[in-house]
Structure 1
Amino acid sequence: MDNTMQTAILTQLPRPRITITYCTQCQWLLRAAWMAQELLSTFRDDLGEVALRPGTGGVFVIEVESEVIWERVRDGGFPDVKAIKQRVRDRLDPGRDLGHVDRAGREG
């Protein structure tokens, strides 16, 4: 199969959706948008979309295909971007190397 056909097939496959629900009362839009940008940059060819969903009451939840991978109250605050990238990777492609994100903390 040539590269053009492979690319056409890959672009037709459904790709996962990530949803970040953030509290508008707490003004967490910028935090949610920053995390969305980081995920889209790292997983640019693997994601169908990253959606920002406004909420209230201190909510901050990140889901991959409706599976909660981070919840602010349950998980003890806000995640760092490294943790979120690792959790998304573990859900989408566990064998994938995230480069410096995976090596930070293991060296030295």
Structure 2
Amino acid sequence: MSHGPRVTITYCTQCRWLLRAAWMAQELLSTFEEEIAEVALVPTHGGVFRIDVDGTAVWNRKRDGGFPDAAELKQRVRDVIAPDRDLGHADRTTTDRTTTDDAPAGSEPGR
């Protein structure tokens, strides 16, 4: 049994956000399997979607404007529970990635 932090995902049942909350719980449990003690899903009403780590709000839909993507959520949780941990690909933004698709418009790869 782990003795790490408790993550609480509070979601609106009227808005049908259970699947979103469960998916985010799965993402966090998969990424922080050694650090997190538990993830609780807490149903409520009124358009609430909030993610807390030991009572500290890391995401609030109303405050933060919508829903986090998985990478941003993992970064925010990491910053609270394991600030020195490298998240690998989740720490890189799309502007940090370089692909062959980054060629200027109108140019062809290899030319």
**Please, what TM-score do these two structures have when normalized by structure 2?**
0.83
Shift, 1:103, TM fit: 2.4
For residue 68 of structure 1, what is the aligned residue in structure 2? Answer: 57
**Please, what TM-score do these two structures have when normalized by structure 1?**
0.85
For residue 97 of structure 2, what is the aligned residue in structure 1? Answer: 107
For 1:5-28, what per-residue CA distance to the aligned partner results, in whole angstroms no more than 9, with x for missing partners? xxxxxx57x210000000000000
Residue 36 (structure 1) aligned with residue 25 (structure 2): yes
* Runs (5+) with no aligned partner, structure 2: 99-111
> Would you say how many aligned residue pairs link Structure 1 and Structure 2?
97
- Residue identity opposite 1:49 in structure 2: E
Report sequence identity in percent.
62
* Runs (5+) with no aligned partner, structure 1: 1-10
Residue 48 (structure 1) aligned with residue 48 (structure 2): no
Tell me how far apart the structure 1 counterparts of residues 81 and 46 of structure 2 sit (CA, whole Å): 30
Shift, 1:67, TM fit: 0.5
For residue 86 of structure 1, what is the aligned residue in structure 2? Answer: 75
Tell me how far apart the structure 1 counterparts of residues 71 and 50 of structure 2 sit (CA, whole Å): 16
Larger helix fraction of residues? 1
For 1:51-106, what per-residue CA distance to the aligned partner results, in whole angstroms no more than 9, with x for missing partners? 00001000000000010010001000011111110001111111111011112422
Residue 98 (structure 1) aligned with residue 87 (structure 2): yes
